Amino acid sequence: MKHIFSAFVFLFLLFLPFPGCAFFGDLTTPSLDQPTKTEPSKDKAEAEAPKTVRVAAFGDIMLHSPQIRAGIQADGSYDFRSFFKEVKPYIQSADIAIGNLETTLAGRSKPFSGYPQFNSPDELVHALKDAGVDVVSTANNHAMDTGEKGVIRTYRTVNKSGIQTTGTAPTHEEKKAAILKKNGITIAFLAYTQSTNGLPVPKDKPYLINRINTTQIAQDVKETKKQGTDFVCVSLHFGNEYQRHPNDYQLKIARQVLEDGADVILGSHPHVLQPMEKVTINGKEKFIIYSMGNFISNQQDPYTDEGVILYFDLEKDPAKKQTSLKNVSFLPTYVHKYYQNGKRQYVVIPTETKQPGTLPDYPGLTPAKWRMTWNHTQQLMKEKGTFPTFSLNRD
């Protein structure tokens, strides 16, 4: 025994100067450290610089029948890019942009249609891709509008366009979070809906549409964290339509999902804005926006043409391996409807300032409407906290 022990002490002393040799497992490979001896300090310096990612999120992307007509071109094809022309630089300024696609893409096997059961031309998604959108949540009350086939075709078409979906899936195997990695930060996007407008989802195919179920959401959040995700955003399609404040259900569910590990709640469905707030859970700052309003639609009721693009930064401290939420801000937007060549047209107008500098050149665009949107949005978004207005010129 004694000579074995001596040999062990000898080996231990021999390798002691090498870093990382505190455990026996390392004793067998100390020489591997040598060729890269200078690298750890360099890596360390690089790793220590905090990394950031900017996320932009917005509400319901709807395509009512007059909007479908607005997109028809002379040759019969569709093009909706003009809807997003003014907001495009704002969407593109973020590293990741997510919206709620509240329609289906069932193709030409069914007529294109708006309310009550939406079937939109694929070109809508091409326009979103062109504007810089990276992810769309597809779990919403219109997801079943064109049946199971519609769910599947929507998933395939959107993902083929280069935009990821979250919240619906054609098969059990494809049911997963949208996961994006930017600047060394991995972010998961999950999405769930309260309702499918009474349209039945086949009982043996629950993977088609994620329904709000806090036990399931907690499990999914845990699963994404296991996969090494730094930050989890959960889109919840919930609440009462046209109500400018969250109901008890929204308050309860949003809080529960954060307590179960999510970091940000992105609410949609009411078609009008609802407030946002920071909440601290177990010492960590988290965030809820109960409804981001409509991003684009043909709805006419008060406030339904208003929305926000919400911005937030994620900052990762590689030393502590912690990612935190920073710089939450919002950009008020509204849908301007105008007539051109005898057709109603649509454009989403971003309002960075209370007073417009130079108004974009669209028929009927007025400073009065601009200011009204600004005032409504500022008031509501600041009800539960102090949040600045986003500006492209500010870093």
Question: Which residues of this protein are in contact with Zn ion, per CB under 5 A?
Answer: 140-141, 269
With CB atoms as reference, the residue minimizing the distance to Zn ion is 269
Residue among 140 and 164 whose Cβ is closer to Zn ion: 140
The least distance separating Zn ion from the CB of residue 270, rounded to whole angstroms, comes to: 8
End-to-end C-alpha distance for the chain, whole angstroms:
68
Q: How far apart are CA 64 and CA 229, in angstroms?
A: 37
Residue among 296 and 328 whose Cβ is closer to Zn ion: 296
Residue among 185 and 335 whose Cβ is closer to Zn ion: 335
3-state secondary structure of 31: helix
Residue among 12 and 242 whose Cβ is closer to Zn ion: 242
Q: CA triplet 381, 385, 390: central angle to 5 degrees?
A: 55
Q: How far apart are CA 159 and CA 307, in angstroms?
A: 25
The least distance separating Zn ion from the CB of residue 271, rounded to whole angstroms, comes to: 7
Handedness of CA 26, 32, 38, 39 (dihedral sign): negative
Closest residue by Cα to residue 122 from 81, 98, 69, 158: 158
Secondary structure string (H, E, C) spanning 225-237 = HHCCCCEEEEEEE
Residue among 140 and 229 whose Cβ is closer to Zn ion: 140
Q: How far apart are CA 179 and CA 189, in angstroms?
A: 6
Q: How far apart are CA 227 and CA 190, in angstroms?
A: 14
The least distance separating Zn ion from the CB of residue 99, rounded to whole angstroms, comes to: 13
Residue among 141 and 345 whose Cβ is closer to Zn ion: 141
Residue among 196 and 229 whose Cβ is closer to Zn ion: 196
Residue among 25 and 198 whose Cβ is closer to Zn ion: 198
CA separation, residue 389 to residues 186, 277, 349 (Å): 26, 15, 15
125: CB partners within 8 A, 6+ apart: 101, 105, 136, 157, 158, 161, 163
The least distance separating Zn ion from the CB of residue 219, rounded to whole angstroms, comes to: 24
CA separation, residue 250 to residues 194, 245, 290 (Å): 10, 10, 7
CA separation, residue 380 to residues 243, 268, 383 (Å): 12, 15, 5
List, in sequence order, the alpha helices (H) in the chain.
2-15, 24-27, 39-48, 65-70, 88-92, 123-131, 147-160, 214-226, 248-259, 367-381
Residue among 64 and 269 whose Cβ is closer to Zn ion: 269
User: How many residues are there in the chain?
Assistant: 395
Residue among 238 and 390 whose Cβ is closer to Zn ion: 238
Phi, psi of 255 (to 5 degrees): -65, -45
3-state secondary structure of 367: helix
169: CB partners within 8 A, 6+ apart: 155, 175, 176, 207, 208
How many other C-beta atoms are found inside a 10 Å radius of the C-beta of residue 8? 12
